[in-house]
Chain A
Amino acid sequence: DGGITQSPKYLFRKEGQNVTLSCEQNLNHDAMYWYRQDPGQGLRLIYYSQIVNDFQKGDIAEGYSVSREKKESFPLTVTSAQKNPTAFYLCASSLPPAGVGGYTFGSGTRLTVV
């Protein structure tokens, strides 16, 4: 079955550490996205990539980094510069333009800073 796989489902990080969230898709979608969900704030865009080896900052990119070396993979690194990293992170993919079919989302990773 085609879909998006995010791992791990739960992740704990000590303050000052970097951590990488995995996102893999086998849908042959060109575009991939990372969103963050906080209570009462909906989904906010962190980074997106429309093609391999290219990506753009979203609304809240500070403290995060990404890479897009393969079409199937779009890992997100939460760096120690991110002041409030505890959140639910969602990865998505789409065939451009996204409006036609919308996004396909992964099941999410809940990151907690301890």
Chain B
Amino acid sequence: DQQVKQNSPSLSVQEGRISILNCDYTNSMFDYFLWYKKYPAEGPTFLISISSIKDKNEDGRFTVFLNKSAKHLSLHIVPSQPGDSAVYFCAASAGNQFYFGTGTSLTVIP
């Protein structure tokens, strides 16, 4: 059973526009949520996080929104740049273990 789901396997966006990546979860005990960015043949790198006591966290072009009632998490990238093209994983933790979604491959078209 997948506790963290990313239902869109891929997304294409024009350079300069907004990219919105979505993530849903089922476990109400998750207390921390992260987004990771991954290039092919490399390990994921941390992008941005949010605690369950907040509903928004912003870091430069990246903003994460958390809707606890809907058990939904989203990552907004504004403006999108070609270098943002990668696979994005959302992850949720309860204790010392993270549960990962299946990833969304973002392509930013110049």
Contacts and interface: CB of A to CB of B under 8 A. Distances in A.
B69 interface: no
Contacts of B2: 42
A100 to B, nearest CB: 7
Contact of B93 (A6, A99, A108): A99
Contact of A106 (B41, B43, B49): B43
Interface string B90-110: 010111111011110000000
B45 interface: yes
Interface in A25-51: 31, 33, 35, 40-45, 48, 50
B43 A48 contact: no
Contacts of A16: none
A110 B98 contact: no
A40 B44 contact: no
A88 B32 CA distance: 26
Interface string A73-114: 000000000000000101010101111101111111010000
B98 A50 contact: no
A108 B96 contact: no
A25 B31 CA distance: 26
Contacts of B51: 99
A101 B76 CA distance: 21
B32 A100 contact: yes
A102 B97 contact: no
A88 B95 CA distance: 25
A90 B102 contact: no
Contact of B43 (A44, A94, A107): A107
Interface string B42-85: 11111001010000000000000000000000000000000000
Interface string B1-31: 0101010010000000000000000000001
Interface of B: 2, 4, 6, 9, 31-32, 34, 36, 41-46, 49, 51, 89, 91, 93-98, 100-103
The 10 closest A-B pairs by CB, nearest first: A99-B32, A105-B43, A42-B102, A99-B93, A43-B100, A42-B100, A102-B34, A107-B43, A102-B46, A98-B96
